[in-house]
Amino acid sequence: MRVLMVAPPGAGKGTQGAVIAAHFDIPHIATGDLLREHVARQTELGRAVQHHLDRGELVPDEIVLDIVRDAFEQARRRGGGYVLDGMPRNLAQARALYQIGLDLGMTANVALHLRADDDELVRRLLARAALEHRADDTEPVIRKRLALYHEVTHPIVAWYAERGILVTVDAMRPVERVGRQILTALEAMRSLVDHVPESARRPIDLTGLGAAFGSAD
């Protein structure tokens, strides 16, 4: 199973990515963790990352994509599955990831979209900021991040829908119930994804199926 995550800040992308990885015994490729790991190990890519960080710059897409390619190659040697968390953040990255996947025979089977309302996301992120004593994570800052997500990242949802690999779940419910719905859906799809071409697939919206996954209990 090859899964990539598309979700706004606070929707639980990292948490659910770890759940999927553990369930299917596949690598959880978190781009932020990979960047820090390369910097700590002082690899060639890590030194390039550090160079940009030292200058107060964002790490360029091509460096992050090289790191993801390296992680994909490792995942392929391990069996071919992965869950990617932290990328893509825009359509250009999505297209570049798709090309890497084509080159390696590792294109995603599922683009998992976690949907949640902005007000709930603000509530969660403010609670997390208080817990972690992050005074700079104020409501205006959080809402600006969410606005950036809607403007830059959310358009890739439509692109994955056109490819037929989009699965949308309701991330508003408790984390355990969201995880149960995700795993149930992915298990149901596991035997099909390698046999049904993308051109024959349709996007799947599970946001109206809450009761079937325990939201009523």
Q: Which CATH number goes with the domain that contains 110?
A: 3.40.50.300
**How far lies 165's CA from each of 32, 148, 177, 208, in Å?**
24, 24, 22, 18
Domain-embedded: residue 178: yes
Please tell me the predicted confidence (pLDDT) of residue 135.
Answer: 79
Q: With beta carbons less than 8 A apart as the criterion, state whether 41 and 153 touch.
A: no
Domain-embedded: residue 17: yes
Contacts of 31 (CB under 8 A, 6+ apart): 64, 67, 68, 84, 85, 86, 87
Domain-embedded: residue 61: no
Q: How many domains does the chain have?
A: 1
Lowest-pLDDT choice from 26-35, 187-196, 202-211: 202-211
Domain-embedded: residue 57: no
Residue carrying the six token digits 């809402």? 143
Lowest-pLDDT choice from 59-68, 79-88, 161-170, 189-198: 189-198
Q: How many CB atoms lie within 10 A of CB 168?
A: 20
Q: Can you give the residue range of the structural domain that contains 23?
A: 2-30+80-209
Domain-embedded: residue 70: no
pLDDT, tens only, 88-107: 989 999 999 999 999 999 99
pLDDT at 217 over 50: no
User: How far is CA 210 from its chain centroid?
Assistant: 21
Kindly state the percentage of the chain with pLDDT values over 90. Answer: 66
Token couple for 105: 């025979």
Please tell me the predicted confidence (pLDDT) of residue 56.
Answer: 78
What confidence category does residue 211 fall into, taking pLDDT thresholds of 50, 70 and 90? very low
Domain-embedded: residue 37: no
Please tell me the predicted confidence (pLDDT) of residue 32.
Answer: 87
What confidence category does residue 207 fall into, taking pLDDT thresholds of 50, 70 and 90? confident
Note the pTM of the prediction, 2 decimals.
0.85
Domain-embedded: residue 155: yes
pLDDT, tens only, 19-65: 999 999 999 999 989 999 999 999 998 999 899 888 878 788 998 89
Domain-embedded: residue 196: yes
